[in-house]
Structure 1
Amino acid sequence: MHKFKKISFLIFLGSIIFILTGCNSQSNNPKKSINVTTSLNFYGEVAKDVLGNHGTVNSIINNPNVDPHDFEPKSSDAKNVSKTNIMVYNGLGYDSWAESLTSNNSNIKNINVGALMGKRDGDNPHIWYNTDTMKALAYDLAKQFSKLQPENKKAFEQNAQEYVNKLKPIDNTIKDIKKSKTNKPVAVSEPVFDYSLEKFGYKIADKNFESAIEKDNDPAPKDIRQLQNDIKDHKLAFFVVNKQVNSKIVTNLAELAKQNNVPIVKVTETKPDNDKTYLEWMNNQYRQVLNIQKNHSLK
């Protein structure tokens, strides 16, 4: 699932800005109901929980098969965004199209999740794999909603806290992983899962390899050989593979890992349809790691 392709985006952006300008007078009208738009559905999930019945939330990308990097918004997306109060997007170059949708409308409050977490362009954009990101977003949404509806401030704050409390099972799983982790590093096909690995306390063995795959480049032969040797010599705790990416190099390495009994953790960059919530999505992936560690300790 790769990566920044903006060939036709600039042309399309002109029409979007025109639409936003035409609808700008409508966005100046006060709204009793809060209207939120998010670029990604898992951010929309947080917004819905915090907002409750005090408004509506629309997520532009709901399909797990859509690549957020390459997504080009429709004119209908622009129209919907023109009516919104708050726009939530990932930032860090991941969904630049979302930020552009609001560039001509000063009445829309933008929440750049990457900036909220103190990250800068060039940093790993997959910040939702740090559960602290979702908590920070929940609290910030409560703050922003309270500005629009001061009379419901306590409700928003309570909703945010309840959402954060719902993530406690993930935090508990992370603690269990940290307790039983091995001292071996892990290899990854690309840096999708890195923030979670950092939470677990694991070091990443193939930084150059993952960076090349992330940028749609072929890894250097020496980096491939090093990863192959690490697999054959059983120097890795496990190999993390983004199963949404079709890469012959990664497929061959995953097969080599199977042949050498190196466990594979399969992750996804976007929330699968079969996972109803962010909590289920994360927990299903984290449980893979925990089960690998438990099986290792029994040997």
Structure 2
Amino acid sequence: MSVPLRRSLAIGLACSALFAGVAHAAGSIRAVGVENEYANVISQIGGEYVQVRAIESNPNTDPHTFEASPAIAREMAAAQLVVRNGLGYDTWAKKILAANPSQARKVIVVQDLLGLPENTRNPHLWYKPETMPKVAAAVADALSSMMPEHRAYFAARVKRFDASLRPWYEGLAAFKKQYPNTPVAVTEPVADYMLEAAGCEIKTPWSLQAAIMNGTDPAPQDVSKQNALLGQRQVKVFLYNQQVTDSLTQSFLATAKQAKVPVVGVYETMPTGYDYQRWMMAELNALRAAVSKGTSTTVLH
């Protein structure tokens, strides 16, 4: 999900514990990944030379209800490197950075790395296979400009990171070849980029996906269409946003269960215990299990 109207910059204390009592290692670069998957990539590239903080990191909450505390604002203002998504997903972070300008701070906006216009309708860029190699390269460039003596170190870690994504890419290609044009239904466009890369045909109307993502009431005909997709088994799997399950999503889940359509819960926020590569593989494996075996995966362990 991603819409500015569902986000707020209210000042609260809910997330201040993320940064309380944290000491930064001497000589290291202070970095912030607004979304924890980006923080994870910063850490993988920067290694011992970065101290990284992830702000949106709770996979059990709706990231659209996030409230930035004063502690978070201070942490971001002090950061030397920030990576944020863009496309309206983290507008609150953009406002904090604008209110605390620094010529020494480097800010990487993933939307800009990919050359995407503001009207790009799906902001969940981390599910896009080409995203993270570009993020990793940009992070290495930024770190190298701050620590040129470690340029080779950062370059080597980018090379290792890129190689570690090959199993995911190969898995996507294999799925596309083995299960071409697999019809699927979704609630929101959380994993749409991955589904498209896997050759799936997303049958849910975009207008329904957008309404659920934006927290608005979907058109009755779209709800009827979705219920037909599930109830008449016109799709092989139903993927829903595991972090946000309202009454409409629950009704779709009930319809899918009754029709014996396997379901897969996908995440906006990287689950605890994963790095980015293993998270993407886990989501792809859940999709494969649903299509090949009819197995549902509602929670990644």
Same fold (TM over 0.5): yes
The code of the aligned residue for 2:185 comes to: A
Identify the residue that residue 278 of structure 2 maps to in structure 1: 280
Change in CA separation of 1:8 and 1:141 when aligned onto 2, cut-off 3 Å: closer
Does 1:163 find its partner at 2:158?
A: no
Partner deviation per Cα, 1:9-42 (whole Å, 9 max, x = no partner): 3x759xxxxxxxxxxxxxxxxx953221111111
The code of the aligned residue for 1:4 comes to: P
Identify the residue that residue 268 of structure 2 maps to in structure 1: 269
Structure 2 unaligned residues grouped into runs of 5+: 13-25, 295-301
Say whether the 8 Å CA contact 1:35–1:84 is kept in structure 2: yes
Q: CA deviation at 1:182?
A: 4.2
Identify the residue that residue 195 of structure 1 maps to in structure 2: 193
The code of the aligned residue for 2:248 comes to: I
Identify the residue that residue 112 of structure 1 maps to in structure 2: 109
Say whether the 8 Å CA contact 1:38–1:88 is kept in structure 2: yes
Q: How many residues align?
A: 277
What is the CA–CA distance in structure 1 between the aligned matches of 2:219 and 2:83, rounded to whole Å? 37
The code of the aligned residue for 1:264 comes to: V
Identify the residue that residue 20 of structure 1 maps to in structure 2: none
Does 1:219 find its partner at 2:215?
A: no
The code of the aligned residue for 1:235 comes to: Q
Of the candidates 167, 178, 181, which is equivalent to residue 179 of structure 2? 181
Identify the residue that residue 37 of structure 1 maps to in structure 2: 32
The code of the aligned residue for 1:105 comes to: P
Identify the residue that residue 77 of structure 2 maps to in structure 1: 82
Say whether the 8 Å CA contact 2:237–2:261 is kept in structure 1: yes
Aligned residue runs from structure 1 range 1-299, under 5 A:
3-5=3-5, 9=9, 32-103=27-98, 104-107=100-103, 108-123=105-120, 124-206=122-204, 207-273=206-272, 275-295=273-293
Change in CA separation of 1:7 and 1:78 when aligned onto 2, cut-off 3 Å: closer
What is the CA–CA distance in structure 2 between the aligned matches of 1:256 and 1:173, rounded to whole Å? 30
Partner deviation per Cα, 1:166-202 (whole Å, 9 max, x = no partner): 2222112212211211434211111111111111111
Q: CA deviation at 1:3?
A: 4.6
Q: RMSD over aligned Cα, in angstroms?
A: 2.2
Report the identity percentage: 32
SS at match of 2:269: coil
What is the CA–CA distance in structure 1 between the aligned matches of 2:168 and 2:61, rounded to whole Å? 26
Partner deviation per Cα, 1:241-268 (whole Å, 9 max, x = no partner): 1122122222112211122222212212
Partner deviation per Cα, 1:123-178 (whole Å, 9 max, x = no partner): 21111111321111001111111111112111111111111212222112212211
What is the CA–CA distance in structure 2 between the aligned matches of 1:180 and 1:237, rounded to whole Å? 14
Change in CA separation of 1:211 and 1:105 when aligned onto 2, cut-off 3 Å: same
The code of the aligned residue for 2:63 comes to: P
SS at match of 1:245: coil
The code of the aligned residue for 2:75 comes to: N
How does the TM-score come out when normalised to structure 1? 0.85
Change in CA separation of 1:115 and 1:295 when aligned onto 2, cut-off 3 Å: same
How does the TM-score come out when normalised to structure 2? 0.84
What is the CA–CA distance in structure 2 between the aligned matches of 1:292 and 1:217, rounded to whole Å? 29
What is the CA–CA distance in structure 2 between the aligned matches of 1:294 and 1:229, rounded to whole Å? 22
SS at match of 2:65: coil
Say whether the 8 Å CA contact 1:176–1:290 is kept in structure 2: no
Deviates more, 1:84-93 or 1:183-192: 183-192
SS at match of 2:210: helix
Change in CA separation of 1:7 and 1:61 when aligned onto 2, cut-off 3 Å: closer
Q: Which structure has the greater CA radius of gyration?
A: 1
The code of the aligned residue for 2:136 comes to: A
SS at match of 1:39: strand
Q: CA deviation at 1:95?
A: 0.7
Q: CA deviation at 1:2?
A: 6.9
